[in-house]
Structure formats: C-alpha cells, structure tokens
Amino acid sequence: MHTRPLAPAARLVLVPVVDLDPDLTALRPLGGFFVLRTLPGTAGAGPWRLPTLADGYAGGTSDPRRNPVAVRVATVADRLRTAEPRVAASLAHQGLAARLWSAALGCAVLYGRVPDLDPRLLRWDARATAPDDLWLTEPRALPGDAATLAATVLHGHLEPLTATLRARYGVASGLLWGNAGSALAATARELSRWARAHGRTDVAARTRALTGELFAHPLLDATGIRDGTVFRRRSCCLYYRVPGGGLCGDCCLARPPRSSPRSSAGGASG
C-alpha cells in the first residue's frame, strides 16, 4: 500500500463542515451517479440481503454466480454484448470507480465530510444500475480532506478491486488505474459543471483543490495529463472493442486499432 502523504493544495480552501444527514440528501440534486442510498429498517430484509463490496473483493466463492464482482462483470458483458471478459471487467471497474468517486467527492465538497465507505458497510446489487446498485448501511462521518478520500476510495476500494480483476481476468494494472483517474476526472467535471450552473463558486473551488491533491497521489499521478477539467489518460479502457463502441473522449488513442472484436482477441491493454 502506498503511504506517501498527499501533496498540499496550492491554495487553501476553507470548507464549511455540515453534519451528514442520514439520507445524504445533498447528493440528490447532482444526479443518479452521485446518489448513495442508505439502509434504514431491519437488518436481514430487502437490500440488507445483498452481498457487500468486501465480499466481492475477498473472492468469497469460486462460483461466479455467487461472487458479486463476477456477477457485475457478466452483467456488463451481457448489456454491452461483448464476449471478451477482459473488456467487461475493465468497464465494470470504471463504472464502480465512478460511483465511489461521485459519492465520496460529492459529500466532501457539499458537506465537508466523507461518509465511511468501508467495503463492509456497502451492500451491492451487482445487477442494478445507479443509484440502486449501492446501499450504505451506516452513514458515519469522516473528515472531508483529500487524505481521507484517498484512504476511502483508493486504498479501501480500488486497490483490492484492481487486485481482484487482475487475478480473475488478467486486466493490466495500468489500464485499471487509468480507469480510476478517468473516473475521478469525470466526477470533478460534473461537479464543476453543476457548481457553475448553480452559482456555487465554493463548490467549484473545493472540487479543484481536492481533485488536484488526489491526482498528486502515487496511484494516480501517472494516469494521465490534466489541464483544468480536461483529462487525457495514458491508457485505453478497451471500450472500442465493444460492438458499436468507439474511443472515449479522454482516450490515449487517436483512432481505434485495426483489430476489432470480430477479428482479434487482442487490443490495447493500457
């Protein structure tokens, strides 16, 4: 695990601290990808029966029908009509990374706090889409600084998820960390867009500061080139290999490789 401290922000941004409300209602205006549902009621009913993200990272079972990471990858493969597990694994990873960054960074800039997203506290419906995929069992508040965001998302989730996907599907490490950087950059762009549209210069400033500190982290600092809210990654997520797919806006490639899902099982690995 990387433990080098995050670089301090170039400019101090004071963040007002607001208590996390039990339903994390401040996230709702940001859109479905940011919304994180919480679990009131009796344990053992409804979403309480879902596995946790920790279950997926740990492997849990060799049966892919019961492992939530394997279920998510199979679900993505079916929806995108790709027969390449490596491609589905990459895109499943990017989607989950975006969900985690959205909830965590959204809370950090709006509340000045981050909910404890310990993988054991997050129930996961691996077949569902946002916001019905993740359910937080207990909204406990943590500091809303970049070090806590890194500990929560990078170390708490993306490191074990990356290890799981590499072991099970052979996805390149550089590709997966490129996904993490791309997802963070996209989250920051959406928060900045929302802040401009609603005259929230404070939210825009906190988003810039926190994102800048996060991209200085050793796991993210080599994932791409940033210029304001523009990000160009140094790897390819393999979306071009999906039938009907193409290059993402931040892709390192200028054009899709000559190989295609129909002509080759290879492709850019990042």
Return the pLDDT at 65. 67
Contact 39, 22 (CB under 8 A): no
Q: Name residue 75's amino acid.
A: T
In this prediction, the residues of the chain whose per-residue pLDDT falls under 70 are: 1-18, 41-45, 59-65, 259-270
| The pLDDT of residue 11 | 45
Q: Which residues of 155-167 are buried (b: 16+ CB within 10 A; e: fewer)?
A: ebbbbbbbebbee
User: How far apart, in whole angstroms, are the C-alpha atoms of residue 170 and residue 234?
Assistant: 19
pLDDT at 6: 53
**Which residues, 6 or more positions from 102, have their beta carbon under 8 angstroms from its beta carbon?**
30, 33, 34, 187, 190
- Check residue 15 and give its pLDDT: 54
Q: 37-93, pLDDT tens digit by residue?
A: 998 766 666 788 899 999 999 865 556 567 899 999 999 999 999 999 999 999 999
C-alpha atoms less than 13 angstroms from C-alpha of 13 in its C-beta half-sphere: 23
C-alpha separations of 68 from 44, 59, 159, 169 in Å: 18, 9, 17, 14
What is the spatial distance between Cα 13 and Cα 257, in angstroms, rounded to a whole number?
43
User: Could you report the per-residue pLDDT of 199-219, keeping only the tens digit for each?
Assistant: 999 999 999 999 999 999 999
Tokens of 128: 């569902």
Residues in CB range of 98: below 8 A, 6 or more apart:
33, 183, 186, 187
- Looking at this protein, which amino acid is placed at residue 59? G
Closest CA to 173 of 112, 111, 219: 219
pTM flag (> 0.85) = yes
Q: Where are the alpha helices (DSSP H) in the chain?
A: 53-58, 68-80, 85-111, 146-149, 159-169, 173-197, 201-215
